[in-house]
Each structure stands twice: as structure tokens, then as C-alpha cells.
Structure 1
Amino acid sequence: MADAAYRIFELAEHALSRPFPLRVRAWDGSEAGPPGAPVLVFRRRRALRRLLWRPGELGLARGWVAGDLTVDGDLYEVLDRMSGLLWGRDEPDPAAGGVVRTARRLADLVRDPGSYRLVREALALAGPGLPPPPPPEEVRRRSGIAHTKRRDKAAIAHHYDVGNDFYALLLGPSMVYSCAVWPGEDTTLEAAQYAKLDLVCRKLSLREGQRLLDVGCGWGSMVLHAAEHYGVHATGITLSAEQAAFARKRVAEAGLSGRVDIRVQDYRDVDDGPYDAISSIGMAEHVGSERYLEYARTLYGLLRPGGRLLNHQIARRPMRDEEAYRVDDFIDRYVFPDGELAPVGATVARLEDAGFEVRDMEALREHYGRTLRAWVSNLEAHWAEAARAATVGRARVWQLYMAASALSFERNRIGVNQVLAVRTDADGTSAMPPTRRGWLF
């Protein structure tokens, strides 16, 4: 049993049909793999059992969250080296991601007499027993119709109601949980989030006395910024009770209770329009493709003629077979239950279908990679406090999710865009200046 790492490494290379790019260290202290490479550490036999029962992304994620798997080296480098093996989508069959290919290859190994020895040895190494239960941070498979009000509220609670203290350590004083805008190399995270909030306000051309609706207001940073610096009357809505409580406290402490209202409310239940402007920052990813036109029409109906919408949303790359798209198991089970990403072109099309005139689109992909790395740094710098504020497993979920997401933005697998749209007047005009400089500065 002193060569467990060699056996795991050998099985991985056979299953993947290519060189495995990491070293492996097993619970018995053995190591195998390319010298100098970062190390994937199997701290317990249970990690191997998870992978044998659920090959690929979900087995790895469960091992990571439970602490059965860890890395010795740079986490970003480990994820980058493995991304093509697990999350690649360039295969001829669009429905078969890297996870599916890995699982199929392992099934083939069981049927291959020449490889049967490897599988038998791996089973012996993993030890007897049923598959280990998933970590408690995992959301089980849901049934029924997605994106009902009740199911959306439960999904939001899973992601956001994990403790305001946890998010304060992660996000820093700004309490903004969306892509920042980094004006320069020496910009701090706090300054970058201020720049993003101010950019949204300027794109919406906010003026004193106007009414702003912030859909998915989080911990209240956007409505506070708009009320304090632009004099608007702002309404923020969220489905998270913990966020709302935190935001109301911030509003009261800022002396803005007369100008800012925070509600626990679904966007489909807002009925006190018209508003002069609407911001939706990092919320539309929760809406779902089947509900997106309803979302766009609802916001259109809440705006006065000439009113503007700023929709800030993560986008995925288009695929050859759009019907084959599915959210990665790790994201769906641990991070954003029922979350969906669409290409930016589909988002623009739905906004136009709802009646909006789309006037501007700004891509901020590189900015999100830097934002995520800053959040990871915050989390790692306050690891013990974050683990106490939530759980160790939750901290490990966010560390993995944010590091992997940073690489996805940096490698252009996903992007993030601000789409500025306007509800035109009855004659089809919008009274917007004809150039970006006219309404942005």
C-alpha cells in the first residue's frame, strides 16, 4: 500500500488517455507524477472512493469541499492544468463535456481486460463501502418547475443567506458582489467597486429626485451610492432576508431612510412604477432562459417612457448546439442552484423583444478576473474567521468557485457585460444623446 499515489496516477492517465498534468500525493505519503508540477493531495481514501463512484467534476468537487482532496502548490495553476480535462467543451459531441468523457472512459476501462487490473486495484485502494455522502453544503437535485417564485427564493437563500459576516470578510467594506471596474494597476478593490457603481449611475444619467429601482440589490451598495451621490429616491429589492436586514442597517446608519427603501420582494411582484431608471447588477443570471422575456417585459413595464435600464450580467460563449447546454454540476449543486448563463446576443435579443432599444454594450471580462482574485485573496487572508462565520466546507466551496471562475474569465470561457437599454417614447425616440460621451460624462 506504499505506492497508492502511483496507482492513482496510472489509473488517471489511462482514464483520460493523455498525460496527467499534476503530481499525486496519497494518504500513505507516496507521490507520483511529473517532477516540479503542483500536487493533488488525496488526504483520505474516501477521496478516491468519491471519484470512483462519481468520476469527473462532481467527484472532485465533493472531495475538495469535504477536505478529502487538497492541493500543494498554486490553486490557480492546478485548476488551469485540469480545466481542459474536466471542463473542455470542444469535443464533436456538444452534449459530452469533459466530465462525460471521463466517466465514459472509466466505464470502458472496466470492460477492457487489459485495464481491468487498474480498476480492481483502485477499488481495493479506495476501500469497501457505499459512496460517501455528499458534503452538507451540497444542494440535492431538485424536481418540479424551475424558476417559480418559491424555488427562486430557496435558490437565493442557499447562495446568499450563509452569513453577512462571511460576505463582509470576502467582499471587503464595499459589500459589492459583482464585477468591479479597475481604472488602473494600483486601484484597490474598494475603489474599483466605487468606480463600477458610479459608472452605472452615470450610464443611467441619474438626477436628483428621480426614482431608481435596483433589482437584486444585495447588501444595498448600489442604492446607497445612488442616493448619497446622485440624490435619487432608491428602492432595492432582494429575495435574501439576511441581505435586506444588513442593507436596512446600512441605510439607517447613513441617514438615508427617507430616500432608500429595501424590500424582500420578487421582481415579478413590483407594482409601484413607473421608475426613471432600473439597475440590475449580477441578478439576471438567476432568472433562467425560459423566464427571461418575462423578466425583460416586467422591467420594461416598470419604466417611464425614456427611462433607462442597466443590465449587468455574466455571459457564456455560444455553442454549436444550444439545446445541449447545461450548467456545470459543481456550480449547480454548490454555488448557484438553477443559475443559467446565456450568450450576450441572446440577452440583447430578449431585451429588444420586450420593447427596449439597446443603446450600448460594454464588455468587462478582464475586470471580473481581477475582482475574483481579490475576493480569493480576502478569503484566504481571513480563512479562520470565514470558516467560523459559515463552515469550513462553505469557505472551500467559495475558494474553488471563485478561483475557477477567475480563470474562466481570464481564458475567455465566459464574459460579463453591461447592456444599456431605454424604453423609447411613444414616437419611438428616446431623447438620449447620440454618442456615449453625451450621456456618460
Structure 2
Amino acid sequence: MADAAPRLHALVQQLLGAPFPVRVRAWDGSLAGPPDAPTLVVRNRRAVRRLLFKPGELGLARAWVSGDLDVEGDLYQALDLISGQVWQRDDDARTLTEALRDPGFRAAVRGLLRLAGPPLPPAPPREEVRRTTHLHTRRTDRRAISHHYDVGNDFYEIVLGPSMVYSCAYWESADSTLEDAQRDKLELVCRKLGLTPGQRLLDVGCGWGSMAIHAAREHGVSVVGITLSQEQAAYARKRVADAGLTDRVEIRVQDYRDVADGPYDAISSIGMAEHVGADKYLEYAGVLHSLLKPGGRLLNHQIARRPHHDETAYEVDEFIDAYVFPDGELAPLGSTVTQLERAGFEVRDVESIREHYALTLRRWVSRLEDDWRRAVRLTSAGRARVWRLYMAASALAFEQQRIGVNQVLAVRPPPSGASGLPLRSRTWN
């Protein structure tokens, strides 16, 4: 008798103590739940075992990456509905100890155990990397960066498009092209930094070289771009050579802590500081401060989380830490500004571009879905599923103000105290 889906749907509702707002299709072909909702496809009993062994985000991620779970219908809607039940903040949800005092909760767990059946939960998918501590040494940072960025340049070309910019674009409108929006972001950074011909720019976390090439070609500066990814560096060097800019752009595989050829007139750090870590952030800010000439500008483009609990603490996301950005940590904006100021910077401008990242991520998801088979061939089915889930869930997080992204412009004050910025600095010249 095909009844796995009704049983599963009822048990999940009993476990949550609330309606489960998505439809469920189980391995026996049965269906249960709201008929107009997106469908959560539970392909086998192994998915249930994964969720029982690791309730919440990590269990769902393991089942998704391994292909034990899938979604039919609108992925964004499904994630939005499920997140309201699963990804609750700790202070809004019962602890497991409290939940186990509830006879109904215990009965639901026993029912799910019977439905899941033996044996013990399988090993995590091979795409998973686990960290027990966030050391942020040169070696561990290099390994973490390699896990994320050395997936294959061809794969990133599918997701990012010709611009090869892996950070939030800057949209004139939702109808703009991704390439135009990324060009506008690079130009915005250059204008905030006040770049002029002959200056030296350090691009920290240079990726595939897009910022370095744009700044050298459009603003006549000399650029040193640094990355910890060998694949990125090789790709960026080829792009620099193809653009005829080898006399003005140097790409290095180098840790920011090892740069010793300052001073620079300006520093850009776009989507890199999330990798630095709480314990190393003041050191990061201090190193960049020491590499700038007096009066030089820093543009720090960084994702931030909303403050709660300890407002200075950094936050680690289980799924992202295990599959996407090992050792990545998000801090509130206020903590970032404080650390920059402690290092000696004067923070002159903060611009939130949260909505822009949601638009960017949705475009990346569309590009991945449109070329799905090739993406799987270039990496693996699990890796492609990681990126699809990560980017779609992140788009919702930006839209719902659970995370944000900010461009912080800071200056290393000269002895005179003159910042060098125009009186109306939002003109960025």
C-alpha cells in the first residue's frame, strides 16, 4: 500500500507542531500535502535517515546534495516555505531537550524511525568538507579557498557569464544585463577609490582578474591582484595578456599577509573579507592600513549578517561551512566598521546594496539551470546541486533582510587630517 507520503507529512507536522506547507512525494509514488504548493520529492528512506541523524539545515543539505531530496515546482517558494519551519533562530525555537519532554514530539520521532528503517545514516556526500575549528592560518585559508574556487573555471563561466565577477553586481534596473551590472559595479568601486592614471592599486582577492583589468584599462592605474587560488590566477593572467595589459597588471598567488611592496594609492577588497575570520579581522585591517599611503583609500565590499545575541560575534552557517565556504564567517556591519577604525582607518561612507545581491544571485541561478547538464559534466551532480541550493537560498536571505552586503569606503588619514575626498563625496571623483 503506497502510504509513505501521508505518513511522512503527518509525522513532520507532529514533529514541528505546525502545518508543513509543502507537498510531499515519497519513494513509493504516494503524495500528500497542499496540492498547489511546490513538491518536496523524498526519493528514498535514506533521506529520512539523514534528516533524523542531523535535524535541520545540515541534514537537509546532505539529502539535497546526495540527490535523496529534490524539489518540483518553484525552488524559491519551496525554500521560503521550508525555511519558516526549519531555519528558525535559536531564540525562537525549542531546544531539543525541551522538545523531547513533549510526548507528541517523541512519538513523531519514533514514527519517523520506523519509516526510515535500517541501517544507520550513510556517510555525508563527498562534496562536504568539515571544520572543527576556524584557524585561519595561511595553510587552512589556502585549503578553504581551493575548495570553493578551484571547482573549475569552465564551471564558473557558466554561472558568472563573460564578466567573470563573483560578487554582487550593481543594477540600474532589474531589466539590465548581468554584464552591464557587473561593469557598473567595477566602475563604482573605481570611482569611490578616486583612481587616476599612474596610481598603484592592490586588489585583494582578485578572483579571475575582472577588477584589475577594468581599473587598468579604464583608469590607467597599475594593479597588483592577489588570490590564493591557482586556477583563478592562471585564468586571470591569460585574460590580462589577452587584453594587452601585462605591463600594468600583475596577478600573484599570495596571501594578503605576505604583501610587502607598499605603499599603494588604493586598495579594493571585493567579496574577500568574509574569508578572513573573527580572530584575524583586526590583523587584516591593520595589514591593509599599513599597505596604503597616507590619504589612500580602501573599498571593502563585504556580506554582513543582522545583529542578534552577541552583536560583535561572527556567525557560521552549517551548510555553507560544510559545502560552500569552509571557514567563512559573517559579522554585523557595525563590527566591521569598528575593526577598520581600530586599525587606524577613517570610515567615510557606507552603502548598502542588499537588493542588488538578490538580483545577482537569481541571474546566476538561471544561468546554472539553463546549462545544467554541462555544469554537471564539468564538476559533479552533487557540486552543481550545492551551488544551486546555496545561490537560491542566499537570494532569499538577501531579499528577506537576513543578510546584507555593504561597500565601506575608508581612508588612511594623512598627518594633516585632510581626507582628499570632495565635499559632496557621493559624486565619487
TM-score range, shorter chain: over 0.9
**Separation in 2, partners of 1:429, 1:436:** 13
- What fraction of aligned residue pairs are identical, expressed as a percent? 67
The CA deviation at 1:115 is 5.7
Q: Counterpart of 1:237 in 2: which secondary structure?
A: strand
Aligned ranges 1:233-312 → 2 under 5 Å: 233-312=222-301
Show structure 1 runs of 5+ residues with no match: 93-97
Match for residue 302 of structure 2 among 294, 301, 313? 313
**Which residue number in structure 2 is paired with residue 38 of structure 1?**
38
Correspondence 1:428 to 2:407: no
Correspondence 1:190 to 2:175: no
Q: Which amino acid in structure 1 is aligned with residue 174 of structure 2?
A: E
Contact 2:224 2:251 in 1 (8 A): yes
**Which residue number in structure 2 is paired with residue 399 of structure 1?**
388
Q: Counterpart of 2:180 in 1: which secondary structure?
A: helix
The CA deviation at 1:328 is 1.9
**Separation in 2, partners of 1:106, 1:55:** 13
Contact 1:56 1:103 in 2 (8 A): no
Q: Which amino acid in structure 1 is aligned with residue 129 of structure 2?
A: V
Aligned ranges 1:41-440 → 2 under 5 Å: 41-89=41-89, 91=91, 101=94, 103=96, 107-108=100-101, 112=103, 117-143=107-133, 146-322=135-311, 326-438=315-427, 440=428
**Separation in 2, partners of 1:104, 1:178:** 40
User: What TM-score, normalized to structure 1?
Assistant: 0.94
Q: Counterpart of 2:388 in 1: which secondary structure?
A: helix
Contact 1:56 1:102 in 2 (8 A): no
**Separation in 2, partners of 1:326, 1:218:** 24
Q: Counterpart of 2:337 in 1: which secondary structure?
A: helix
Contact 1:55 1:102 in 2 (8 A): no
> Could you report, residue by residue, the CA deviation over 1:175-216 in whole angstroms, capped at 9, with x for unpaired residues?
000000001232100000000000000110111111000000
The CA deviation at 1:88 is 2.2
User: What TM-score, normalized to structure 2?
Assistant: 0.96
Q: Which amino acid in structure 1 is aligned with residue 422 of structure 2?
A: P
Contact 2:314 2:330 in 1 (8 A): no
The CA deviation at 1:140 is 2.3
**Separation in 1, partners of 2:420, 2:314:** 39
**Separation in 1, partners of 2:225, 2:392:** 29
- When the two structures are aligned, how many residues end up with a matched partner? 429
**Which residue number in structure 2 is paired with residue 29 of structure 1?**
29
Contact 1:16 1:105 in 2 (8 A): no
The alpha-carbon distance between structure 1 residues 206 and 269, as it changes in their structure 2 partners (threshold 3 A), is same
The alpha-carbon distance between structure 1 residues 165 and 423, as it changes in their structure 2 partners (threshold 3 A), is same
**Separation in 1, partners of 2:268, 2:313:** 31
Contact 1:45 1:125 in 2 (8 A): yes
Q: Counterpart of 1:425 in 2: which secondary structure?
A: coil
**Separation in 2, partners of 1:245, 1:388:** 22
**Cα RMSD (Å):** 1.6
**Separation in 2, partners of 1:294, 1:339:** 16
The CA deviation at 1:86 is 2.0
Show structure 2 runs of 5+ residues with no match: none
Q: Which amino acid in structure 1 is aligned with residue 352 of structure 2?
A: A
Deviation >6 Å, runs of 4+:
none
**Separation in 1, partners of 2:121, 2:313:** 28
